[in-house]
Structure 1
Amino acid sequence: MSAGRVCEGAGWFSWWGFSPARNLLSLGEKLQMNVLLVGSGDPRHILKTMADSPVEENLHMWVIESSMDVVARQLLLLYFIILLKPRRSKMFCFQRRLKFSWSFLETQKSGVRQKRRCERDELARILKLWIQPAGSSPVIMSKAWDYRVRQHLGTRYDSKKGCFDWDLTMKLHEKGCGVISKQQYVQWRGKGLAFEMREGIYQTTNPTLLSTRVFNKKGDKVGIQGYWGDIVSSPYLSFGIESDDKKLLKTQNGQNLHTAQDISFANLQELFRCLSSRRRYLSTSHSDTEAEEAPTLSQQKSLNDLMHLSGVSVTFLPLDSLQKLPQKQKYRHYFNSIYFSASCVHQLDPMMGQIAAPDAVLVVELAKYILDLNKEQEAGFAETVANLALQAGFEPWCEGASDGASDGSSDGTSDGGSDGIHAVFIQQK
């Protein structure tokens, strides 16, 4: 077991995923163009798939998240990463991307049904909170983080550094994440600071990581704003534990020469380079009312500093749309690749087979890096995933070796199978 209470560490909001970025187009028997992601938490798979997909092909990615807080942050990150030129200052980028998101919301007013209008209004409320002047947040992140750590460790709080070291060496390192350094991991576990890109004092609260969790107190529902995300597994998993550049994975005297922060930076730089090779505008074509009502990354002609992407479209669907997709004729046998995060596996039901295209690939994130689970619980989770996939009409995809790239390669899913990071299935014949 992890040195903490079960489920507390993973949190209730998925600000990042529990697996490395994957190119979801590299699986299966043919090129896939319509991809559905359920609960991915961050845009790592979106960006990796965009960067590795052929420029001459059209790619449409559909995203369903569990909360508008996560949707808002994904929109912000995608805009910041894809559309803004890297030479802009960070402060300008932050202000500009907020204005972009807000102006986009204003274009969504007409023709929106009541429920969709509520989601749009909620998104607007979240963005307004982010625009508040620095230091005006009612939540002090250091206190919110420390509250979570105390709740998670309980009586072990006074020996928290020992608990942090245990989770790192006996969990993450044993699972192949030796590039996560003790100094960086312990700092993140203790303070919430994972990446230090320059010297300075990091004391301003990051509003994009704040959300409201509803508690039941004496029969009344009370919303408390704070940090309710992962405090155990770390954001290093997305881009910091695998690399195609073997130099970044070298060791000397049993010690890694580069840290997860170094690898994250290098992987993102390479990803930006691949994205910049696309020359035309981001596609915005939609063919039904539901897609038009969803918050979508679209071409903004008023912005003259965009990174133009060819043939790519990203649509954020309403929160409750997953169970409704099989009811729409448009989505019958539509998606070539479907991705489920570990936190949304319970939504994988037999109806999903109806929206899968022939020879579609199903990729499910497993519980390998959810450290609060023991080996038996992790294995039980994988068994549950396999049963749910079978009921939905999918069977294990056994071509090649395994999903995980034991040598650290970042394109391991191209081999199919599973090593505990992702389980890969293909539609039954």
Structure 2
Amino acid sequence: MTGEGFGSVTMWGFSPALDFQAGLPSRKGLKRAEESLGNGEPVEVLNILLLGAGDCRHILKTMAHRKRHQARKIHIYVAENNLELLGKHLLLLTLALEPPHRMGLQEKAELFAELYGNTLIRQQTVQYLQEKANLFVEMITDLDYSDERMPTIDMSQLKYKERDYLEGIFKFWRDPDPKYFNISSMWDNRLRQYLAARYDSRNGAFDWDLSMKLHELGAKVVCKKEYTRWRENGLAFETREGIYDRPNKSMASGIVIKRRDGERVPCRGYWGDMVTGPYIAFGVDAEEKSLLKTANGKPVKSSEDITLHNLTSMFYELQTGKTYRLESEKQAMDTESKIVELDECKEEADEHREMETDGDLQNHKHGNREFYAPICCEEVCVHFLPLNSVPELPKKSKFKKLFDHAFISASMVQNLTPSLEGIFADHSTIDIELVKYILDLNKSQIDGFASRVTSMAGDVGFGPADTSEESADSVNGCFARFVKRSTQ
């Protein structure tokens, strides 16, 4: 799974976002939480393992749709191959949880898309990235402050050296000098290497990949203009008028490369996908089916339009607990304005009360740090796991039969070994991402991968899910679902 076009670092997913609570079978075996969710009653706990997702799409959708299901405490354990990806998770989840008085729905969706899928961003976006980098440096070096500032995310399981490395990543993000990460040059160099003799006729190569591969696989909403622009310079989303000329440093990652003399050296660059694009996660399907309509055989809306709608709807539901409807968009915006007013009044009252009661204590505790509460999402807690920790999970008693569900990306399926059987609960399920949208693979390779993951899941005690059930396997062939076999 390390093709030149696919890249060696999974910067985004190659499958649509999933709500982990949707379509799962009855959870009679779930544990009860010791803590409640505000009403004093213990609730069920759903423990989920997320291996190599590359982005936070599944976390975001699960968080946004949490009110559609019965009250549960959801713990999501995230393992990635690169610490830069954990930093990107932190960045995008922090953005998603920005309170409404700090950022409106439209601005949040556009900013998220820009940071998520663009190599080049606007100066305003750079300022936001630098602001958050400063915050993250404070959080990673003071976990008590991190717990208070962003209670949804738990970084306590990271090792000290990994936290030090993350601190270095965040300091790199906040460095205003763009010359240290010339992503345009890196993109062009990799493009030349990938296309080789086809570089001079690259527009034809782009058009072939779009029409004969991506469209044939079902992603017809990805239009030629946006796909060609992204393949040429890595600019996936042009959501606003402006100059996209600043490097998106959150796209940087480090790998070890072998030089001609045999020496291995670390190298920072862009090592992600350059063929499929960041459109699959949020931009090829939607609950609002009118967005998928066609006219004269062509989609009415582009993948960018669908991405922005899906992000807006998730952020609205995350904020209000109510489903976002396209026909009531104005009402949604009016509701957001009311929420902003209420939040501002509440914030002023809280600040006044804090100043009267323990203002000196707060100032001593936080120093000059800016502090404001994110959108409350007490139902979900995201735990970052150390690098290369997956083989170690079965050795720790706290992970014994812990996980009720797991998502495993195509890039990390090699971690699904028989030794992991003990970490899965008796009623557990697994979703494995298939390679449908890895465009460098042919049909026999795609079919061979599906057979391979079925065999690997069987070695861990899982069998194919009943296809009569509503499952992730029905999402355009992007996933395969497996259920734990009964031991009785």
* Pairing 1:428–2:446 present: no
Letter matched to residue 91 of structure 2: L
Q: 1:59 to 1:352 in 2, by over 3 A?
A: same
* Pairing 1:24–2:20 present: yes
Alignment-derived partner of residue 34 in structure 2:
none
1:66 to 48, 68, 81: 81
Letter matched to residue 95 of structure 1: Q
For residues 93-108 of structure 1, the aligned pairs below 5 Å read: 93-108=128-143
Q: Distance in 1 between matches of 2:456 and 2:448?
A: 12
Q: Distance in 2 between matches of 1:115 and 1:317?
A: 6
Q: 1:91 to 1:24 in 2, by over 3 A?
A: same
Task: Provide, for residues 330-353 of structure 1, a one-character-per-residue CA deviation record: whole Å limited to 9, x for no partner.
Answer: 111111111100000111111222
Cα shift at 1:181: 0.2
Task: Provide, for residues 9-48 of structure 1, a one-character-per-residue CA deviation record: whole Å limited to 9, x for no partner.
Answer: 1101111011110112224322471111000000000011
Q: Distance in 2 between matches of 1:219 and 1:126?
A: 27
Secondary structure at 1:270 match in 2 = helix
Q: Distance in 2 between matches of 1:102 and 1:140?
A: 23
Contact in 2 for aligned 1:402/1:419 (Cα 8 Å): no
Q: State which drifts further: 259-268 or 71-80.
A: 71-80
* Pairing 1:265–2:299 present: no
1:216 to 258, 263, 273: 258
Q: Distance in 2 between matches of 1:245 and 1:84?
A: 25
Alignment-derived partner of residue 124 in structure 1:
167
For residues 168-317 of structure 1, the aligned pairs below 5 Å read: 168-217=210-259, 218-277=261-320, 303-317=371-385
Residues matched between the structures, number: 393
1:49 to 55, 59, 62: 62
Contact in 1 for aligned 2:214/2:437 (Cα 8 Å): yes
Q: Distance in 1 between matches of 2:426 and 2:157?
A: 35
1:81 to 96, 99, 102: 96
Q: Distance in 2 between matches of 1:136 and 1:399?
A: 51
Cα shift at 1:114: 12
Letter matched to residue 17 of structure 2: A
Q: Distance in 1 between matches of 2:285 and 2:169?
A: 33
Cα shift at 1:113: 11
* Pairing 1:35–2:103 present: no
Secondary structure at 2:383 match in 1 = strand
Q: Distance in 2 between matches of 1:393 and 1:196?
A: 46
Contact in 2 for aligned 1:56/1:310 (Cα 8 Å): no
Contact in 2 for aligned 1:362/1:426 (Cα 8 Å): yes
Contact in 2 for aligned 1:184/1:194 (Cα 8 Å): yes
Secondary structure at 1:400 match in 2 = coil
Alignment-derived partner of residue 359 in structure 1:
427
Secondary structure at 2:282 match in 1 = coil
Q: Distance in 2 between matches of 1:139 and 1:273?
A: 34
Alignment-derived partner of residue 443 in structure 2:
375
Q: Distance in 1 between matches of 2:306 and 2:159?
A: 40
Cα shift at 1:192: 0.3
Task: Provide, for residues 200-246 of structure 1, a one-character-per-residue CA deviation record: whole Å limited to 9, x for no partner.
Answer: 22111100111222211112112232211000010001100000111
Contact in 2 for aligned 1:21/1:238 (Cα 8 Å): yes
Contact in 2 for aligned 1:28/1:426 (Cα 8 Å): no
Q: Distance in 2 between matches of 1:115 and 1:184?
A: 38
Q: Distance in 1 between matches of 2:462 and 2:156?
A: 35
Cα shift at 1:96: 3.3
Contact in 2 for aligned 1:36/1:337 (Cα 8 Å): yes
Cα shift at 1:401: 6.2
Q: Distance in 1 between matches of 2:15 and 2:167?
A: 30
Q: Distance in 2 between matches of 1:268 and 1:117?
A: 34
Letter matched to residue 222 of structure 2: I
Q: 1:271 to 1:114 in 2, by over 3 A?
A: closer
* TM-score using structure 2 length: 0.76
Secondary structure at 2:97 match in 1 = helix
Cα shift at 1:418: 7.3
Runs of 4+ in 1 over 6 A off after TM superposition: 112-115
Q: 1:114 to 1:80 in 2, by over 3 A?
A: closer
Cα shift at 1:391: 0.2
Alignment-derived partner of residue 167 in structure 1:
209
Secondary structure at 1:33 match in 2 = strand
Secondary structure at 1:58 match in 2 = strand
Cα shift at 1:99: 2.5
Q: State which drifts further: 95-104 or 227-236.
A: 95-104
Letter matched to residue 229 of structure 1: G
Letter matched to residue 483 of structure 2: I
Q: 1:248 to 1:115 in 2, by over 3 A?
A: closer
Larger Rg belongs to: 2
Q: Unmatched 5+ residue regions in structure 2?
A: 28-44, 108-123, 146-154, 322-338, 340-365
* TM-score using structure 1 length: 0.86
Q: State which drifts further: 345-354 or 5-14.
A: 5-14
- RMSD of aligned Cα (Å): 2.6
Cα shift at 1:82: 1.9
Q: 1:360 to 1:244 in 2, by over 3 A?
A: same
Contact in 2 for aligned 1:43/1:78 (Cα 8 Å): yes
Q: Distance in 1 between matches of 2:255 and 2:390?
A: 23
Cα shift at 1:81: 1.3
Alignment-derived partner of residue 184 in structure 2:
142
Q: 1:330 to 1:27 in 2, by over 3 A?
A: farther
Secondary structure at 1:364 match in 2 = strand
* Pairing 1:342–2:338 present: no
Letter matched to residue 200 of structure 2: D
Contact in 2 for aligned 1:62/1:316 (Cα 8 Å): yes
Contact in 2 for aligned 1:339/1:364 (Cα 8 Å): yes
Q: 1:264 to 1:419 in 2, by over 3 A?
A: closer
Contact in 1 for aligned 2:401/2:422 (Cα 8 Å): yes
